[in-house]
Structure formats: structure tokens, C-alpha cells
Structure 1
Amino acid sequence: MSGVNWWVRRASAIDYDDVISILQDGEYQGDYLSDYFHILISNPLCYPYVCLVDNKIIGFVQIVIIDNGETASYRSGRMRREFRGLNLHDQFTEFTLEDLKKKIRGLKRIVLKQECSSKMLTKDWIEEGIPLSQHVYKCTFYAGSKTAVQKSIQTSQNDCSSTTLLDEVNFRKVIASKEKYPNVFKDGRLAVDSVLYHIYQENAPLILMERTSAVISYPEVYDKTLLTFCSYFRLLNGETFCKLDIYGKIGSTVLEHMKLHLRIVLEHVSDVFTIDVRCNEDIDLIDLAMINIGTAKLPEGTYSHKGKAFYERPVVTQSRL
């Protein structure tokens, strides 16, 4: 730790300015937190923490409790530039997880989200982390304008009768029939907006939280079912950033499906927007659909991450601290 004295407390709404200023000089163009901060802070299942040095906030970590209290999922974290490379973020994260293990009875596992190009966070994760190989996905970024995309999706090749928006009630029905959708619910889980959920009824309102919509195609034709989730937030420059998670059969129906989902999302877009499409298969068909819709694929390196992977660690009863 190089002699750095730090302490941790729960974050609150009044920490907004200090937390947002952790990332400096536009370090990450797709930062969601400026628009999501108060939504997440107000969620009783979200546990945000700040790390302080000399009473100044220099780090932020957010853990969300899902799966009916069984899983603590690392959602996001950040550290001021001058404190990186000191192993401080890792120790800060471990401290918050140890704190939650004391507070959340019935906690069985911890899930870490990791950029595919990065190394494992700590020695503990290297030794104990279980890679969830079926939940590694590539991130591909597309940009467009509301006017151009609306013009493109005004007409469809069919009436989209097999594609529909899912509300929570109907999403719960899909969850109740999860065994019928092996191509959708691989390993009995879904990663939505960077959180990996087990397919539990209790997770339905968390998955379909504010700003997240779900669209399903062919729910009764199980080998053709396509399910997408899209969340959105506004960047500090006023542009909209969307995250689109895709599950199921990616085939000839993907274009009409994407048109319907984007039609819903565009209601919340002012002008220019970017979409981070997360999927682990058939990316060529998705490319064709997104270009047909009127978006342009961004070159690799436009955003820092190329993909995401998840690792799971069982909760041990004895604390390491």
C-alpha cells in the first residue's frame, strides 16, 4: 500500500460530485455513473462504498445483492489516477465484500465482472475464482443519430407479430418456463447491464429496473427464441449511451427484432447515441442488422473495453481481514 492511510464508508447522495470527479479529463467516454448515480443509491439492494484518503474521496465501488440474497455482484468501481497501481482498489473491493459478508445472511457467492483484456484482480481470485466460461461476451460499439435510425426503421418487412415488449408480469412467465429456453438461459443465468443473474423470479424487478427494457421474439418457438435487454443513460455531453444484451437464436429474425427494440429505446434519445452490443456469437449477423438499421460500427479501441468475463468465488465463513 506504499504507506497510504485509507478508510471506507457507505456512499450517499451527497457524494455525487466527488464520486463523478474520480475519473478525470474524460478518461472514459461511456461513463454511466453521472446519470445512474442517484438511481443506484436509492436502490436498497445496491451497496455503494467510497474510499477516502485525507478525507478526500479517491475511490468508489458498488456491489449489488441479487439472487434472493445469495449473490454479491461487483457492479462497478473506480479509483483516482494517482492512486492506481498501489493495489488499493483491490484491497478496497475486498474490504467491502468482507463487510457485506457480515451484513448479508445467506450470502453464498461473489461474482466479479472483469474486462477480458485485464488480469485477475487479486491472488485470491486467481486461486479461488471460477471462470464462468459460458458468460464471456464481446462488446461491439455502434453509433447513430435518432433521425437517421428512425427513418430506417419506419418500415418493416413484416408486422413484427412474433416480437413483443416484455413487462415484468410476462417476463416472470418466461422465467417460470426457463427450461424451455436452453439457447437463451445458458447455465441458468443472464448478464444484463453488466450484472450476472440466476434465473430467479426475485430477480425480475432488478433485471427490468428503471431504464431497462426487454423484447422477445418467438417465445413459443423455443429453437428460434430471441431475447434482448437494453438499458440507456445520458453522458455528460448530452449524448445517449445504450447497452444491449442479446440471448437466444440469432438468425433471419434479428433485424426485425432489433428494429422494434430500437424503436422503444429511441423514445428516450435526444439525438446522437452509441450502442454497446454484448453477445458471444453470430456477431456478423448482428453487424449486418445494425448497419441496415442505420448505425455505423465504431473501430476497436474507441472505448477501452473489448469484452466482459465473469468469475465466481464461493463465500467462506472465516474472514481474511
Structure 2
Amino acid sequence: MDHQEMDHQEIGIKRVTTEDYERVMAILPPDEIYHGGDYLPDYFHMLLEMPNIEMYAAVAGDKFVGFSFMSIVDDGKTVVPRGGRVSKEYSGKGLVGLMSKWLDEGGPLYRQGFLYRAAIGNKENAPLLQHARKGLCKEILQQDFRFYDIWKFNLEDEFKKQRESNQFVNARFIEKDEFGQILESRDLSRYFFPEGRAVVDDVPYKTMRSNAPLIFTERTKVVVTDTNNPHEAILSISNFFKAPVGMIVNLNIYGCLSEKIKSHLILHVEKLLPCLRSDFILFRCISKPDTNWANLDNVMTELGFKTTHFYGTGLVCVEWNLKSKL
């Protein structure tokens, strides 16, 4: 076998089940992934229970040497590859390309019929942008994000003070049925998601009502304000996981990032506090490009958060038309 290329015949593909947890985690230590922000150890079992998630491993002998999983969205027409990893032993030997090609062409375990493949990465992920600039795929959208951190005991103290004094200005939780109505609503959908995509937990969903149940995991909370006024409305979506670095919260913010975001933060934190399993908490707040973060900065300061840096400054989403190759 060439040292730079592997014999593809020696690699098998296996559908991953819940019993494979330890074998998947052994491929690459989680604390070496995403700068300690790896979500897979905490998300693994929850994701496997979702109806639109499929996980696969590349197997050499009886050892897992690669892993990838995907979300199938948009009425089964779009596949979104997500948390892949390759063992150090097989790094740089073409395994990622093999699994990607196998996905596009339809391997023996994959369903046929995908029309699109969409991918999200940090803006610092140059290959995605290069592919788009070369016309190999289409750039769908970009988003900016920034990080805030806090220690658990500080958050508990500040939250208690704010919860007692804050007026909630019509902020409220919604469930998947109402979220589906928003996705379907001509005015609200165009306002919140002008590119025709709702990005939640780093997965792009077309604004189709059928995607709403797929967006909601057991961790997902959605808060809205002023949905009767599409020019002042806010929609925020939180998801959280325990990573090697601590608890990480992804907060996607759509609409008008006004001072009313404070009520959203307090409602999200209220649901988050009972679930905290780490003393350190890192919020990644995500919004449209060129967002004026002043209102959010002020709210986070009031709640005791500090602005910090972790990994990246924003997201880029691209899409391939799989059928255009045929």
C-alpha cells in the first residue's frame, strides 16, 4: 500500500448504532477536536434517536478509523454532512474524500434520491469559500457570531436578580407547530430568513413546515417577541451540550437584535440552568452579517457574561446540486 494512499478495498462502511459509542469516540480524542468544543460525546445518543440522522463509520479490520454523520432535511431532498473525524493513523490518506464520494454517489447503505448536499463551516474554513468562488457549489448565506463566557455560580446569582426585576415584553416560548407556521408564513419567513434558510445548531433548513419537527431536539428552545410586527420581531433558538472545555450554548438570533433580546436571554437561561453539568459556560451567539452587537453586549454584561474569543468569527453555508453532475 502506498504510504500516501490507502487501498480502498480494505475499508468497509458500517452503519453506526448506539452500541458503537466507545468505538466512535476512540477514533480521535474529543479534547483534540474543535479546540475542546466537540459536541459529539454529549449529542451522540440524542442524535441517533432523531428520525433524520444517519451515522456511518469507516472500518479497517475491526477498528473504526473514520466517522461521519448526516442530517437529511427538506423532505428528504438535502443531505447535510456533519461531524466527521478520521484517526491519526489514516489522516491524509484520502479517507475523507472516499467517504464524501461514497455519499454523493450513493453507497450500499445510503438512500438514493438526494438532490442537494449542503455544508456549513467556519468562515475560516477556506476550502468551502474556494469551492464557491470556483463555481463548484453555491454560497447560500453567511452568518457572524461572537462568544461570551461566564462561571456557573455567577450566572446563577445574576439570573436570580434579573429574573425578579425583568419585564418580559411579550417574549414567550413556542413549540414546533408554531415554528412550522412561521417557516410557512410569507411575511415572517422572509423577515427572519431572507436567504430562505433557517440555520439551527449549524444545520441549514429550507423554510418548509416539514422541517420544524427536525429542528427541535430535546435540547432546543425557541423564544419569540412581537411576531405580529414583522419589522420588530425577534426569534431566538438555543441548543446546548457539554464539551471538554465546558458547557457550550449555541444561540441563533433572527430578526431585530434590539434591547428586547434581554427577555429572550433570561428565558433561555431559565431552561438552561437545571441542565448545567459544568462550572464553565460559553455562549456562541449567531446572527446575520454586520450585526450591531451593542444591545446584546449590554445584556450579556448585565447578566455577568464577558466577551471572549474561542474559535472563528462566523459561518458560511454552501450547497451542491448533486443531479447537475449526471
TM range, smaller chain: 0.7 to 0.9
Flag the 1:70–1:179 CA change in 2: closer, same or farther, 3 A: farther
Decide whether the 8 Å contact of 1:32 with 1:234 is kept in 2: yes
Shift of 1:147: 3.0
Shift of 1:141: 2.0
Aligned to 1:99: 106
Letter in 1 for 2:37: G
Decide whether the 8 Å contact of 2:5 with 2:94 is kept in 1: no
Shift of 1:138: 2.5
Aligned to 2:94: 87
Shift of 1:99: 2.0
Aligned to 1:295: 305
Flag the 1:265–1:210 CA change in 2: closer, same or farther, 3 A: same
Aligned to 2:180: 172
1:31 maps to 2:41: no
Provide TM-score, normalisation by structure 2.
0.86
Choose which of 148, 153, 156 in structure 2 pairs with 1:150.
Answer: 156
Shift of 1:181: 4.4
1:242 maps to 2:249: yes
Shift of 1:290: 1.7
1:128 maps to 2:136: yes
Letter in 1 for 2:298: L
Shift of 1:40: 1.6
Shift of 1:98: 2.3
Decide whether the 8 Å contact of 1:62 with 1:75 is kept in 2: yes
Identity %: 23
The residue correspondences of 1:249-268 to structure 2 (distance < 5 A) are 249-268=256-275
Flag the 1:148–1:90 CA change in 2: closer, same or farther, 3 A: same
Flag the 1:118–1:175 CA change in 2: closer, same or farther, 3 A: closer
Letter in 1 for 2:27: I
Whole-Å separation in 2 of the counterparts to 1:111 and 1:50: 20
Shift of 1:33: 0.7
Aligned to 1:138: 144
Whole-Å separation in 2 of the counterparts to 1:141 and 1:16: 30
1:9 maps to 2:14: yes
Provide TM-score, normalisation by structure 1.
0.87
Flag the 1:283–1:23 CA change in 2: closer, same or farther, 3 A: farther
Whole-Å separation in 1 of the counterparts to 2:178 and 2:251: 20
Aligned to 2:236: 228
Cα distance per residue 1:157-216 (max 9 Å; x no partner): 652141001112222232232423433112221000010001111111111122111111
Whole-Å separation in 2 of the counterparts to 1:116 and 1:96: 24
State the aligned residue count. 313
Decide whether the 8 Å contact of 2:180 with 2:211 is kept in 1: no
Where 1:18 maps in the other structure, the secondary structure is helix
Aligned to 1:119: 126
Decide whether the 8 Å contact of 1:181 with 1:225 is kept in 2: no
Where 2:93 maps in the other structure, the secondary structure is coil
Aligned to 1:283: 293
Choose which of 110, 116, 127 in structure 2 pairs with 1:109.
Answer: 116
RMSD: 2.6
Choose which of 21, 24, 46 in structure 2 pairs with 1:19.
Answer: 24
Where 2:75 maps in the other structure, the secondary structure is helix
Aligned to 2:69: 62
Whole-Å separation in 1 of the counterparts to 2:129 and 2:63: 25
Letter in 2 for 1:7: G
Decide whether the 8 Å contact of 2:224 with 2:233 is kept in 1: yes
Aligned to 1:269: 276
Flag the 1:123–1:172 CA change in 2: closer, same or farther, 3 A: closer
Choose which of 194, 197, 204 in structure 2 pairs with 1:186.
Answer: 194
Flag the 1:195–1:213 CA change in 2: closer, same or farther, 3 A: same
1:214 maps to 2:219: no
Flag the 1:182–1:21 CA change in 2: closer, same or farther, 3 A: same
Where 1:64 maps in the other structure, the secondary structure is strand
